[in-house]
Amino acid sequence: PPNVIVILTDDQGAADAGCYGAKDLETPAIDALAARGVRFTQFYSAAPVCSPARAGLLTGKYPLRAGLTGNASSQPGGKGLPAAQVTMAEMFKAAGYTTGHFGKWHLGYRPETMPNAQGFDHSFGHMGGCIDNFSHFFYWQGPNRHDLYLNGQEIQRPGRHFADMMVEEATAFMSKHRAQPFFIYFALNMPHYPYQGDPKWLERYQHLPYPRNLYAAFLSSCDERIG
């Protein structure tokens, strides 16, 4: 059976890739995927915000039917996608696939709603809506909270860029399971806030107006990780 990798970017504009007409962005990796595959030009997210859109993707249902119509909590113990919902990962697992989640989750912050309880054999990432890419803290509201997990257990890797660790973890997973079919949900947290593009891309886009310059740098940094 074929291996399956679903790549999800976070808060990327529908036209913000070269293959969809952007003239002020460099996205060679995304463009290469489009050139070798199929572009969907009438294909829509299930919702305009994070959690219900992810619920729609992973369950194949409208968010209302999936039981999550607003953003899940970014605090430990917060509610999310009901545990009874059947995810894409559970279906692949039932078909004999080894399943891995890498990146942003934002579908529940309780043991029964975190990735390992929703069909994923392996999980690396953050559970809330966003994190700082180097400290891995959630800064959005309230007291700052560290948010980095490996198979449901909090881990500390300060100073490492989150997306680089995603690539490393996914690469190791693919190498380990290359003899059997695998399913990967590669849910990048980019280009969602906070905009933390690589220095070379910040310099490359310094001519663009603010905040497009920061967004563009972060999106090209994202594209490189996809590559």
Whether 50 is a known active-site residue: answer: yes
CB atoms within 10 A of CB 8: 17
Chain-centroid distance, C-alpha 20? 20
Report the distance separating Cα 1 and Cα 75, nearest Å: 38
**Contact partners, residue 33, CB within 8 Å, separation at least 6:** 226
Of 145, 68, 79, 150, whose CA–CA distance to 108 is shortest?
79
Q: Would you say 223 and 138 are in contact if contact means Cβ atoms under 8 Å apart?
A: no
CA angle 114, 119, 124 (to 5 degrees): 55
Report the distance separating Cα 92 and Cα 97, nearest Å: 5
Eight-class DSSP state of 5? E
Rg of the chain on CA atoms, in Å: 17
Whether 106 is a known active-site residue: answer: yes
- Which of 101, 106, 136, 177 is the catalytic position? 106
**Contact partners, residue 19, CB within 8 Å, separation at least 6:** 27, 30, 31, 34, 35, 39
Q: Which residues are catalytic?
A: 50, 106
